[in-house]
Amino acid sequence: MERIDAHLHFTSEHPDYAVALAEWNLKLLNTVGSVEHPLWRERLAEPYRRLAQAYPERFGWITSFDLPGFGEREYHERVIARLGEDFANGALGCKIWKSFGMGLRDAAGAHVLVDHPILEPILSFIERSGKTLLMHIADPQGCWRPLGPDNQYSNFYSKYPDKYLYGRTDMPSHAELIASRDRVIERHPRLRVVGAHLGSLEYDVSELARRFERQPNFAVDTSGLARAVDLGLQDRNRVRRFFEDFPDRILFGSDVNVELHAAETPESRRQALEAMRSAHQSAFDFYETDRTLMLRERTLQGLGLSEHILKQLYAENARRWYPGL
């Protein structure tokens, strides 16, 4: 079966990779992650563009744009001109990262959420260009919840307390971030929006179902393996019904990171491919089989989705939501 990984970060340009991907009937959609590093273009967007141009059968790419410097008068013009170039160079969409909502503040010190007016002309440009907006606008809801055995993200936030937002009144709530995205989706009904990481609504498929019903321009990707665990911890029949009710709205993604190594060797390339392959296989086992699986130290039962649904999850939806892929 053909598979498309619709959300990952793969910058290595050695021709061996394209050969392996062809053998596996696999295509990768690279998405720019954070743009907070000043060299994000050189380090991410440029290798993604080169890969998609060198191996169009195996790679696609999604660009992003610089964060606003408030007070910069030509910000929109500059961003739109650059996005236009990226789209002309094959970018299938534009990603917005959670710096909007979870970090960026305006000149007065207020949080800048994704429905801030400064983004409007940019979103309208993406919509007019017929490209897709990929939105990663929040951490998992566990970031705002008490730690404990029923919070899948307890280990992570115990390790990184500075990222943990439970009880923090100086930061937007998870619900406020989601509501700001809802407003963008509803304000731009002709803009295709894909929510990364199960649309940051990983904790409850009924939250997604409610939105899919009223937002026909909204889909989500499943990146990465932690999201399979989020699904696996919910009522299995409800999750299976969710996939049956919305077979055209869920795109497979792994969020795997394979970075460019200056000193790549055949052995390091083999290991990088092996790591990606194994992350993929764990996810495939979860979506395809009824087996009891161990994923990220959790015992879960696979969803055993039908072939009809899997074909859409693995490839057809990526092509539907990212035309040209």
Q: Which is nearer to Zn ion, 230 or 255 (CB)?
A: 255
Q: Which is nearer to Zn ion, 115 or 255 (CB)?
A: 255
- Say if residue 318 is exposed, middle or buried (CB neighbours under 10 Å; 0-12, 13-18, 19+): buried
Binding residues for Zn ion, per CB under 5 A? 255
Cβ at position 33, least distance to Zn ion in Å: 5
CA–CA distance, 56 with 58 (Å, rounded to integer): 5
Q: Which is nearer to Zn ion, 127 or 255 (CB)?
A: 255
Q: Which is nearer to Zn ion, 80 or 256 (CB)?
A: 256
Cβ at position 9, least distance to Zn ion in Å: 6
Chain position whose Cβ is nearest to Zn ion: 255
CA–CA distance, 41 with 60 (Å, rounded to integer): 16
Cβ at position 209, least distance to Zn ion in Å: 24
Q: Radius of gyration over alpha carbons of the chain, in Å?
A: 19
Angle, helices 120-128/75-88, rounded to nearest 10 degrees:
20
Q: Are 250 and 220 in contact (CB under 8 A)?
A: yes
77, 82, 83, 85: CA torsion to nearest 10: 130
Cβ at position 254, least distance to Zn ion in Å: 9
Cβ at position 227, least distance to Zn ion in Å: 11
List the end-to-end C-alpha distance of the chain, in Å, as a whole number: 17
Q: Which is nearer to Zn ion, 34 or 234 (CB)?
A: 34
Q: State how far the alpha carbon of 43 is from the alpha carbons of 9, 49, 97, in Å.
A: 11, 11, 17
Structure tokens, 316: 């057809």
Q: Which is nearer to Zn ion, 9 or 247 (CB)?
A: 9
